Amino acid sequence: MSQIRSELGPEALILSDRSRDGMVEVTAALETDEAPALRQHAAPSSGLHDLEPFDPGPVRVPPPRQHRAAAPPPGRALDPRLAVAFAWHGLAPSLAAAIGGGPLAAQCARVFRFTTLPLGRHDSPLLLAGPAGGGKTLSVARLATRLVLAGQPPLVITADGQRAGAVEQLAAFTRLLGLTLVAAATPKILARALERREPGQPVLIDAPGLDPGDPQQAADLQALLAASGASMALVLPCGLDPNEAQDIAALHAALGAIALVATRTDVSRRLGGILCASAIAGIPMAEAGISSSAADGLVQMTAAFLADRLAKGAQPITGTGPAIQAASPAEPSRVLVHAALPLHIAAQRRNTQRN
């Protein structure tokens, strides 16, 4: 990919790739009078030369929206077992009180908001954004697989020109699905790529990772959204510190995120970061990543799913011995003592032998 851009320039539009004679053949194009048609898509209604250069102008990020979790119903004390589980998950006390005042599934349905991703034939493109390494590319691959199996092959675009290997990683999935991957690292190229969308065809866009502390990255993301007219879903991994997760979600909410995809629920058991982020930033939850499978790794996020995961709480990790069993909130240091003591003794022995 780097060789193509060095020879054709940064405006090169990568159209397809395939394996041939033990090598990878990549098809790319520059702006011409007539846009080449992709193998799955009809020719665009107008040539690339008709497009005006995209200039988003100065971008101002609006302040984050403020949302409050629903208040708990009066007269219901929090079950002590749920209190322990909620503390283990890292829920904010106000949020724990809000969902602990009645049947857990019903309370989750009352307090949290849920939605579905806009993947219909007449929906706008869907852009997946979020922090670097949060699972955006794999989520795009999973959604593309779902659409292919449903008989609606999508147009897949990667706008991530920052991370090394980003195009190649997604190309490995689209190649298996028989889809063409378009690389569009700038708003102008992204607008051109979307002209190749067939009527009613779903579009998935993989955005670059966003650093909440970098205003320029936020402006770049907003420029991609303006150029594509896409709806944005925030891809957020479980296991983040709740305060960090809230900061990330608040920024994406200010940029217009309409849904949240929670990844790594299979490997990070604590949901506090995800739930605090959704409730405080006001972003409805849509999907949960439950496995590494591309075919069925995402499921619809529901109140019943959350209630089941929250109620399980700090269940011990089985088959690993007492040194790394999950500790109760009342005894947070026991695990550290059991794990550190053998290391301390071994270090003392080594020091004695040296002396």
The CATH number of residue 138's host domain is 3.40.50.300
pTM: 0.71
Examine the domain organization and report whether 227 and 329 are in the same domain: no
Segment 74-126, tens digit of pLDDT: 445 678 888 899 999 999 999 999 998 889 999 999 999 999 999 988 899 99
Examine the domain organization and report whether 298 and 216 are in the same domain: yes
Ranges of beta strands (E only) in the chain are 13-20, 23-29, 126-129, 155-158, 181-183, 203-206, 231-237, 257-263, 285-289, 298-300
Beta bridge partners of 129: 234
Cβ partners under 8 Å of residue 12, min gap 6: 4, 5, 28, 29, 30
Examine the domain organization and report whether 246 and 347 are in the same domain: no
What per-residue confidence (pLDDT) applies to 351? 59
Give the DSSP letter string of 21-55. TTEEEEEEE---SSPPPPSSSPPPSS-GGGPPPP-
Task: Kindly state the average pLDDT of the residues 260-275.
Answer: 94
Nearest-5° Cα angle at 238, 236 to 241: 95
> Inter-axis angle of helices 80-89 and 303-312, to 10 degrees?
100
Residue 120 lies in a domain: yes
Segment 186-216, tens digit of pLDDT: 999 999 999 989 999 999 999 999 999 999 9
Examine the domain organization and report whether 336 and 211 are in the same domain: no
Residue 102 lies in a domain: no
What per-residue confidence (pLDDT) applies to 184? 94
- The residue written with tokens 């689209």 in the block is 174
pLDDT at residue 73 is higher than 90? no
What per-residue confidence (pLDDT) applies to 122? 86
Examine the domain organization and report whether 281 and 156 are in the same domain: yes
What per-residue confidence (pLDDT) applies to 170? 93
Examine the domain organization and report whether 124 and 252 are in the same domain: yes
- Determine the distance from the C-alpha atom of residue 69 to the mean position of all C-alpha atoms in its chain, rounded to a whole number: 23
Cβ partners under 8 Å of residue 279, min gap 6: 67, 69, 95, 111, 112
What per-residue confidence (pLDDT) applies to 332? 38
Segment 321-339, tens digit of pLDDT: 444 344 444 443 333 333 4
Residue 94 lies in a domain: no
Q: Which candidate, 124, 127, 121, places its Cα nearest to that of 204?
A: 127
Q: Which candidate, 166, 258, 262, 158, places its Cα nearest to that of 205?
A: 158
Segment 56-71, tens digit of pLDDT: 454 454 454 544 444 4
Examine the domain organization and report whether 257 and 328 are in the same domain: no
Residue 73 one-letter amino acid? P
- Determine the distance from the C-alpha atom of residue 40 to the mean position of all C-alpha atoms in its chain, rounded to a whole number: 27
State both tokens at 77: 């004390």
Examine the domain organization and report whether 255 and 345 are in the same domain: no
Examine the domain organization and report whether 129 and 171 are in the same domain: yes
pLDDT at residue 320 is higher than 70? no
State both tokens at 105: 């599934």
Segment 11-47, tens digit of pLDDT: 555 555 555 555 555 655 554 444 333 334 333 333 3
Domain count, the chain: 2
Q: Which candidate, 213, 214, 265, places its Cα nearest to that of 235?
A: 265
Q: Is 107 helix (H, G, I), strand (E, B) or coil?
A: helix
What per-residue confidence (pLDDT) applies to 321? 44
Cβ pair 93, 99 in contact under 8 A: no
Query: How do 23-29 and 13-20 pair as beta strands?
Result: antiparallel
Residue 182 lies in a domain: yes
Examine the domain organization and report whether 121 and 150 are in the same domain: yes
User: Which is higher by pLDDT, 133 or 334?
Assistant: 133
State both tokens at 203: 């579009």
Cβ pair 64, 257 in contact under 8 A: no
Beta bridge partners of 236: 262
Residue 185 lies in a domain: yes
Residue 118 lies in a domain: yes
What per-residue confidence (pLDDT) applies to 67? 46
Examine the domain organization and report whether 290 and 210 are in the same domain: yes
Q: Is 219 helix (H, G, I), strand (E, B) or coil?
A: helix
Query: How do 203-206 and 126-129 pair as beta strands?
Result: parallel
Question: The domain containing residue 339 runs over which residues?
Answer: 322-354
Residue 174 lies in a domain: yes
Q: What is the mean pLDDT of the chain?
A: 78
- The residue written with tokens 């990020």 in the block is 61
Residue 252 lies in a domain: yes
Examine the domain organization and report whether 186 and 307 are in the same domain: yes
